[in-house]
Amino acid sequence: MRNIISALVLNKAGVLARIAGMFAARGFNIDSLVVGRTEDTKLSRMTIVAIGDDKVLEQIRKQLDKVIDVVKICDFADMNYVERDLMLCRVHTPPEKRSEVVEVVNLFRGRVVDVARESLLIELSGPEQKMEAFVDLIRPYGISELARTGVLAMQRGAQAKRRRAAKP
């Protein structure tokens, strides 16, 4: 089972190593892990996509919560949330195929960010399923390079914002 967990962590040296090390030491499988700054300079947000059954995911939550640099955990399992992944993808595109590829990119609301004689560099963001659907369609043209950021997520609605004021 795929589950998205987001953790607000202190923005200081060694935190990523501590959390990555905990995952490795406990034998948890993670699909992606994204770290970035937040609205508070003292905090970073880690968004983790983890694979496992309910029991494993419960342990992941608890073990994350136990890490002293983790301030707060949010588990999106029972929530309404938005998920985004950013992809850069270089597709082999001879001039005669270019319009075909651009059409697919437009259908997915992606963007062409660089054009070369034989290739296009495409930027696309969205939930994981959309990215995969796009990759499936574009693969026959020949993907020469692909990079994805991993998943970011945030809760929908007003609830999530409320907690910000409570932080020390």
Write out the residues near other proteins by the rule CB under 8 A.
9-10, 13-14, 17-18, 21-22, 25, 55, 58-59, 62-63, 65-72, 167-168
Smallest distance from other proteins to CB 10, Å: 6
User: Which lies closer to other proteins via its Cβ, residue 64 or residue 124?
Assistant: 64
Smallest distance from other proteins to CB 88, Å: 31
CA torsion sign, 33 to 57 to 133 to 83?
Answer: negative
Smallest distance from other proteins to CB 141, Å: 44
167: which residues sit within 8 A by CB, 6+ positions away?
40, 43, 71, 72
User: Which lies closer to other proteins via its Cβ, residue 19 or residue 101?
Assistant: 19
How large is the greatest C-alpha to C-alpha distance in the chain, in angstroms?
Answer: 59
71: its two tokens: 């301030």
81 class by beta-carbon count within 10 Å (0-12 exposed, 13-18 middle, 19+ buried) = middle
How far is Cα 38 from Cα 11, in angstroms, rounded to an integer? 9
Smallest distance from other proteins to CB 122, Å: 38
Smallest distance from other proteins to CB 21, Å: 5
User: Which lies closer to other proteins via its Cβ, residue 18 or residue 98?
Assistant: 18
Check if the beta carbon of residue 122 is closer than 8 Å to that of residue 91. yes
User: Which lies closer to other proteins via its Cβ, residue 18 or residue 84?
Assistant: 18
User: Which lies closer to other proteins via its Cβ, residue 22 or residue 86?
Assistant: 22
